[in-house]
């Protein structure tokens, strides 16, 4: 296995004994460790861990992400074979976190079942311009999933100036655009004129069911993701792709807004700008069709339950 990489860990004031956890791996891996004395929030902690990196490219992974066995070797080859690219989008599998309880720890990726669902349906690697990645046929979250992105450190570092430092210091979960999507701002400014490489074969596994912010998912989908597309449009995304993808992003508009309203602060209601996030989006067909989509899914699921 290629060992010409480093593992940078920034523990954001967790309750884990991280030093004990990494001890068995220190002889095998080049590990850099930082432990924050207090919770810095998502954005500031990401900026901290990227500042620790010494190599040319960074792959940001969360504590709910796994690598397949050959991921590092595969990614190294991809980067070496595409020296004109500054940004690499790496597909991922989904796997239910509950299933890990069946195995000993640390979990061995060899035990992953076959035919896992992929984040993106793409089946062919391809080289693209940056804004070509912003396509629901590639990824419904439009780069919001930072764990799918590998990027050149020098360009990332240079464009951190576009992040609002005051807003990312707010450690409330997803309370504003910057502390949720600051990496989108950096990616857009740094790589909008770059060649990017899409790796269709997943090299990681995204565990679902483990996130502490699950109740905020409807808010992320119909508030933050449309805002991400607005930001891309303001920074060079063409009008037609923007309209098509903005409409797609609102496919759960009414049913998710009802969840947010009923759920209150716990579901992000206090972070909603109703003029911007609700009224202005009513011009898109999917805002209205979302009622039909939801009704159709409910009827189909009810029929399946009856016929079981």
Domain membership flag for residue 48: no
Q: Looking at the structure, tell me whether residues 195 and 263 fall in a common domain.
A: no
DSSP assignment of the chain: -----EEEEEE-S-SS-HHHHHGGGTTTSEEEEEE-SS--HHHHHHHHHHHH--SSEEE---TTEEE-TTHHHHHHHHHHT-TTEEEEEEEEEEEEGGGGGGS-SSPPGGGPPSSPPBSS---S-EEEEGGGG--TTT-TTTT--GGGEEEEHHHHHHTGGGS-HHHHT--STT-SHHHHHHHHHHHHHHHTTSEEEEEEEEEEEEEES--TTGGGHHHIIIIIHHHHHHHHHHTT--HHHHHHHHHHHTTTHHHHHHHHHHHGGGGTGGG--IIIIIGGGGGSHHHHHHHHHHHHHHHHHHHHHHH-
Number of domain units in the chain: 2
- Same-domain pairing of 61 and 199: yes
Cα separation, 158 vs 283, in Å, equals 37
d(CA 63, CA 46) in angstroms, rounded, equals 12
- 47-96: per-residue pLDDT in tens? 999 999 999 999 999 888 999 989 999 999 999 999 999 999 999 999 88
Residues 155 and 292 in one domain: no
Does position 1 have pLDDT exceeding 60, yes or no?
no
Residues 144 and 208 in one domain: yes
What average pLDDT does range 168-177 have in this prediction? 96
* Structural domain of 270: 218-308
pTM across the whole model: 0.93
The structure tokens 């439009």 sit at 142
- Which of 163, 178, 212 is a domain's end point? 212
- Please determine, for residue 209, whether its predicted confidence score (pLDDT) is greater than 80: no
**Residue 203 counted as domain residue:** yes
> Does any domain span residue 7?
no
pLDDT digits (tens, 9 = 90+) for 240-271: 999 999 999 999 999 999 999 999 999 999 99
């Amino acid at each position: 296995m290629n060992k010409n990489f480093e593992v940078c860990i920034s523990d954001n004031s967790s309750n884990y004994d991280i030093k004990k956890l990494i001890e068995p791996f220190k002889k095998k891996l080049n590990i850099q460790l930082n432990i924050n004395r207090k919770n810095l929030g998502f954005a500031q902690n990401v900026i901290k861990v990227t500042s620790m990196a010494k190599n040319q490219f960074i792959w940001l992974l969360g504590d709910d992400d796994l690598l397949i066995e050959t991921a590092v070797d595969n990614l190294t080859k991809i980067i070496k074979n595409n020296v004109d690219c500054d940004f690499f989008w790496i597909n991922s599998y989904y796997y239910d976190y509950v299933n890990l309880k069946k195995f000993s720890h640390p979990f061995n990726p060899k035990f992953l079942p076959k035919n896992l669902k992929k984040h993106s349906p793409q089946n062919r690697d391809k080289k693209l311009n940056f804004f070509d990645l912003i396509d629901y046929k590639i990824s419904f979250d439009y780069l919001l999933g930072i764990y799918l992105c590998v990027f050149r450190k020098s360009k990332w570092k240079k464009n951190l100036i576009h992040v609002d430092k005051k807003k990312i210091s707010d450690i409330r979960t997803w309370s504003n655009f910057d502390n949720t999507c600051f990496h989108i701002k950096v990616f857009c400014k740094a790589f909008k004129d770059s060649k990017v490489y899409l790796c269709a074969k997943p090299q990681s596994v995204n565990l679902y069911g483990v996130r502490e912010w699950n109740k905020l998912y409807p808010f992320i989908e119909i508030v933050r993701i449309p805002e991400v597309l607005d930001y891309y449009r303001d920074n060079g995304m063409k009008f037609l792709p923007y309209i098509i993808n903005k409409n797609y992003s609102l496919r759960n508009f009414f049913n998710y807004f009802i969840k947010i309203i009923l759920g209150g602060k716990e579901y992000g209601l206090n972070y909603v700008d109703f003029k911007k996030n609700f009224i202005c989006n009513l011009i898109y067909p999917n805002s209205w069709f979302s009622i039909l989509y939801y009704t159709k899914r409910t009827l189909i699921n009810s029929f399946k339950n009856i016929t079981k």
